[in-house]
Every structure is written in C-alpha cells, then in structure tokens.
Amino acid sequence: MSTTDFASLRLKPELFSNLESLGYERMTPIQTLSLPPVLAGQDVIGQGKTGSGKTAAFGLGLLQKLDVKRFRIQTLVLCPTRELADQVAVEIRKLGRAMHNVKVLTLCGGAAIGPQIGSLEHGAHIIVGTPGRIEDHLRKGTLKLDDVDTLILDEADRMLEMGFQDSLEAIVAHIPASRQTLLFSATFAEDMQRIARRMMRDPVMVEVEASEEVSSIDQRFYKVGADVDRLTALKLLLQEIRPESALVFCTTKRDVDDVCQQLQRSNFSAMALHGDMEQRDRDRTLILFSNNSISVLVATDVAARGLDIDALDLVVNYHPARDTDTHIHRIGRTGRAGSQGLACTLFDESDAHKIARLALPGDPVKHPRPLPKLTLLDQKTPYPAMQTLQIDGGKKQKLRPGDIVGALTNGGEVSFEQIGKINVTDNSAYVAVHQNIAKVAQHKLSEGKLKGRSFRVRKL
C-alpha cells in the first residue's frame, strides 16, 4: 500500500467507502501530508490553494472526529467569502453523505439573518461561515461555540487581507482553548505567523510546491505603451484567443468599470464584478458568467476571491499583480484539473519591475511576445455560446431543474444537449440554452406550463 492510498489512514468505514464512490482514488499531495497529523489531533498549517484538495484534507479530519449522536456544534469553518463557504459546505456534505444525519449549516453575510437564527434553533454539527456574520450571531447570542473542538480557518490570508483580523480574534475567544485548529492559506507572511502563534498549539507545517500546480499554465507577457495601449491590447488578445470564459484582472474598481464599458462598446460580451455591487447583481453576474452566457468577466482581486469557476480558458492581467502571491492566485484559475491554462499579462515600462520580481524563466521584460496584428480588430467579435433565460419563479414556487428540462425537451424542438447550466434561486430560475434555440426555448417555457402554471420568462 502506498502512502498516497486513503486506505493507509484509519478512516471510519463509511467515510472510506464513500471516497471510492466519489472517484477519489488517491490522496493529493496536501492530503498525503496533512491528513496523518490532522487525524492524530494535531494543529496543522497547510499551505495550499484552491484546487489542491485542501477542503477534503480538513473535511475528512473533521468528519472522522465528529460524534453525530451528540447534536452540538462541534466544528466551525471560517471562510473569507460566501462563495467559498458554499463550496466548502457542499464538499463536506459530499464527503459525509454516507454518515447518517450530519447537519452542516452555512452562516454568511449577504443573506437575511432571520432564517439563519431559525436554522440555528434546529441545531447543527458543523457551521461554515464568514467571520462578520458569525460574529453577528455571537453578539446576538444566537450561536454558541462552547462545544466546538475543531476550528478551521480556510484561506486565512484572504481573511486577513479583507480586514477580518479583529473578527477572527473575537470569534476565537468564544471557542474552548482545548480545540484542534487547522489553518489553510496560500501564503504565510508575517501577519499570518502572528495569527498562528496566537491561535494554534505547536502546529505542523505542511507545504505543497506551488510551482508544480502552476507549471501547466502557459504564461505570456505583452508590452503595451506608445504603439498599442492596454485596452487595444486586451481587445486584440480576446479577438485572437476567442475564449469561452476569460477573467480580466484590474487594480481598481474604476478600472474595472472603464474596461468593462469599453469592451461592451466594442461589442464584446463582458460584465464587471467588484465590491460595490449589490449581492443580487453579483450573484446574477456570476450565474451568467459560469453558464457561458457572458465571455469576459472584468474583476478586482478582492471581488474574484473565492469564485468557484473552473476551467477558465484565459486569465488576463490587465495590470500586473502587485506581488507574486497575488499573481499566482490569479493565474491559478486557468488550467485547473490537469488542462493547460493560458495567462496573459500586460505591462508597460513602469510595471516592468513587477514582472521582473516574478522571477520567471526567459526574461519576459526583455523579450515580451509580439501582440497580434491590429487588423484583428476589424473582425466580428466572438459571441458567447449560451444565452440565459430568467424564469420568474424559483424554489419558493417549488420549481426544480427537472421541471425546466422537462418543459424544454417536451415536443422535441429542444434537445437535452442544447440546455446548459440551470440555477434555481429562491424566486427565480436561470437556464442557459444554446444561442440558436433561445427564442424557441423562451416560447416553450413561457407558453407551456411549468408546474401547471405560467411564469414570465425573459432573455437576459
């Protein structure tokens, strides 16, 4: 038996057999290194990013320890963003699905607090949440952490960057000191070490080589300036590469808005994502981007944190990242799950030192790649593969994805393959369909009966 076999760990049989059904054949590097100390009850610091399998590393640890019969909150997982918290909760439920009655509850900002209080009254074993909201509940007395024996800080560096330090301290003060603490972070700078010293006991450090994960990404550097400005360079790259999904990083919110507007003016399918947006608009933008109805998402680093969007064809650094960690975090979003990714970075004379700091082979500052020919701009802009239809009915109206697929495919004009992602929220449902059948699909959904009712359906 190799040390990367899950069988080398003494997991509960129901956890172990479920891994097989999930298709997890062997441990990822971070799991191989961290699971033994995690299962032995030690505090562990794991340096690994999204995509490394870190969620299962702590998820298996907390589930192994969980006493389901004791209906108390035994684990608290803190995440920087709601998206990450949702993702973590999904993974924990998946890992624990063969254990009976494991109750995982997410508590995040941006959602109404009332229903959360109701859910807390019903009890839970595991809480996954964002620091601000957890602190709110502690203040109101609606959440008690006296029985917590495992605390997990996920993407701890991001939480600190987002200013959650005081919240973290306040929350930790409510958790018994005898707990096990697991901290995951892509970086381990001075402020993180301080947190670790204060909140952890003799932590074991586990580091996974980041360069290995990044090696499947084709990195290209383009110099902009007098001949071709940044925006033109971006348009040229989008015309040349014609990505289905591209994420473009800018430094400030203003740049995000400017770049997005300019792209839209030139007929590119683009939307902006930044911290000033209402949660509802943000959710909608993410739905449109992740179901391929929008090709280009322009975002700040903060806004893009914790986004669960795989398989991006392209990441563009419209401005270079301010440090190596941010750069790696950005480009790590392309080329996940073994596929080759592409990351293009634009820089001008004044940015050259930032590129030099990345210590890349081939000296891209001296030898940037030539930009595509300007004549490419005369081509028709690519348009997205899918179009989203919004149905004015959701979970509250008991609408389920199956009802929508049924209504669309009934009659045979729309095939199953022409339907993309379906997202059902409380009061709306979003269904992505191929552009060329969007009209037919809209007609079928609005004229046909869904759940015996007519709903308003519009193209977004």
Q: Which residues bind ligand AMP (CB under 6 A)?
A: 24, 27-28, 31, 50-56, 91
d(CA 166, CA 182): 19
Nearer to ligand AMP, 334 or 388 (CB): 334
Instruction: Check: CB of residue 394 under 8 Å from CB of residue 426.
Output: yes
Phi and psi angles of residue 168, each rounded to the nearest 5 degrees, phi first: -60, -45
Residue 28 CB, nearest approach to ligand AMP (Å): 5
Please choose, from the candidates 157, 147, 203, 187, the residue with its C-alpha nearest in 3D space to the C-alpha of residue 34.
Answer: 203
- Closest of 170, 148, 149, 150 to residue 159, by C-alpha: 170
Instruction: Kindly give the residue spans of alpha helices, DSSP state H, lying in 101-216.
Output: 113-122, 131-140, 156-161, 165-172, 190-199, 210-214
Residue 307 C-alpha from the chain's centroid: 3
Q: How far is the CB of 58 from ligand AMP (least distance, A)?
A: 9
> From the CB of residue 192, how many other CB atoms can be counted at a distance below 10 Å?
19
What's the min distance (Å) between Cβ of 42 and ligand AMP? 20
Residue nearest to ligand AMP (CB): 55
Instruction: Give the nearer residue to ligand AMP in terms of CB position, either 217 or 296.
Output: 217
CB 32 to ligand AMP: min, Å = 9
Tokens representing 276 are 């000033």
Min separation Cβ 205 and ligand AMP, Å: 18
Q: With respect to ligand AMP, which residue has the nearer C-beta, 152 or 288?
A: 152
Tokens 């191989």 correspond to: 32
Residue 55 Cβ vs ligand AMP, minimum distance, rounded to whole Å: 3
SS3 376: helix
**In angstroms, what is the minimal distance from the CB of 443 to ligand AMP?**
37
Beta bridge partners of 152: 77, 182
The Cα 313–Cα 207 span in angstroms is 28
Enter the DSSP assignment of 346.
E
Name the residue nearer to ligand AMP (CB basis): 56 or 386.
56
Closest CB to ligand AMP among residues 186, 414:
186
Q: Which is nearer to ligand AMP, 31 or 388 (CB)?
A: 31
Query: 49 vs 274, which CB is nearer to ligand AMP?
Result: 49
